[in-house]
């Protein structure tokens, strides 16, 4: 990627953009030095679902956000999948766990009224099950559950995995209400569910074309000489949090 940036090429890169925060920093520095655009492809950030989550948080209807949980897991049935190769960045945390990490950061920033990428967890804890523990694979994480504590007392729980049935969803719990999000990282039509006391309200979500919207924003950023809607401060933070979680998982 750095070679492309050094040759004046704009780069939209699949997540995670790098395998550690140091690599990520070098990529960002190369983009800035050569005056080109660089963006990590977190396509879910371009859905009506995500927009409605952010709008609900900003409205204050949940009160002070105290807890959130986000999950992204599926059953990986192909034993030859590249996702199981540790030397190539395999493992559930890199492949799907990066989404809940990003979502937790988005919620933490929005709840605190901070600029994107500003809020970082004070502490992290994690438990993982690795493929080598069952006598197969090369030791990549097959399942991870983590807790992250943010400034102000917000606690986030994230779950990811390859070894159980598909489960994708999130929940944000505040002092005044709860917001339930199904298909958090996808783009079908549906509804968020807001609960306040005994009252449950559905917030309609329109179908989106998340990949197209992502590419169109990146292209417009190049043509208009502006930053993409999803910025590099969040990318760098995501890499740093993944580093911390991976380090904690290894003891």
pLDDT at residue 136 tops 60: no
Query: Residue 200: which residues within 8 A CB-CB, separation 6 or more?
Result: 193, 194
Minimum mean pLDDT range among 91-100, 128-137, 166-175 = 128-137
Distance of alpha carbon 159 from alpha carbon 71, whole angstroms: 5
Unique residue bearing structure tokens 């960002």: 28
DSSP assignments along 46-102, one per residue: GSHHHHHHHHHHHHTTT-SEEEEEEEEEEE---TT-GGG-GGGT-SHIIIIIHHHHH
Ramachandran region, residue 197 (left: φ > 0; alpha: ψ -120 to 50; beta: rest): left
pLDDT at residue 92 tops 80: yes
What does the chain come to in residues? Answer: 251
Class of the CATH domain delimited by 43-249: alpha beta
Query: Residue 198: which residues within 8 A CB-CB, separation 6 or more?
Result: none
Residue percentage of the chain with pLDDT more than 70 = 98
Span 18-25, average pLDDT? 96
pLDDT at residue 133 tops 70: no
Span 57-69, average pLDDT? 98
Q: Which pTM was predicted?
A: 0.95
Average pLDDT, rounded, for the chain: 95
User: 187-225, pLDDT tens digit by residue?
Assistant: 999 999 999 999 999 999 999 999 999 999 999 999 999
Distance of alpha carbon 174 from alpha carbon 97, whole angstroms: 23
pLDDT value at residue 134: 47
pLDDT value at residue 251: 73
CB atoms < 10 A from the CB of 211, how many?
Answer: 12
Distance of alpha carbon 148 from alpha carbon 122, whole angstroms: 7
Distance of alpha carbon 99 from alpha carbon 94, whole angstroms: 9
Element (H, E) at 111: helix 98-112
Residue 44 DSSP class: G
pLDDT at residue 137 tops 80: no
Q: Six-digit token pair at 242?
A: 């993944």
């Amino acid at each position: 990627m750095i070679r492309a940036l050094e040759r004046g090429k704009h780069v939209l890169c699949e997540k995670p953009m790098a395998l550690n925060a140091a690599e990520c920093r070098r990529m960002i520095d190369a983009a800035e030095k050569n005056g080109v655009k660089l963006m990590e492809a977190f396509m879910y950030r371009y859905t009506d679902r995500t927009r409605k989550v952010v709008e609900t948080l900003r409205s204050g209807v949940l009160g002070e956000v105290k807890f959130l949980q986000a999950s992204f897991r599926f059953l990986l049935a192909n034993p030859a999948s590249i996702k199981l190769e540790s030397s190539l960045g395999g493992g559930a945390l890199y492949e799907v766990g990066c989404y809940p990490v990003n979502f937790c950061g988005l919620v933490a920033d929005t709840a605190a009224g901070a600029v994107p990428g500003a809020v970082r967890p004070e502490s992290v804890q994690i438990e993982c099950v690795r493929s080598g523990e069952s006598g197969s694979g090369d030791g990549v994480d097959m399942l991870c559950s983590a807790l992250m504590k943010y400034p102000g007392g917000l606690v986030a729980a994230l779950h990811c995995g390859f070894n159980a049935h598909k489960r994708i969803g999130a929940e944000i719990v505040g002092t005044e209400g709860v917001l339930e999000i199904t298909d958090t990282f996808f783009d079908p039509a549906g509804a968020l569910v807001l609960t306040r006391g005994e009252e449950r309200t559905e917030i309609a979500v329109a179908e989106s074309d998340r990949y197209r919207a992502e590419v169109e924003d990146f292209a417009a950023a190049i043509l208009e000489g502006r930053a993409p809607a999803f910025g590099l401060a969040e990318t760098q933070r995501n890499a740093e949090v993944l580093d911390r979680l991976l380090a904690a998982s290894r003891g």
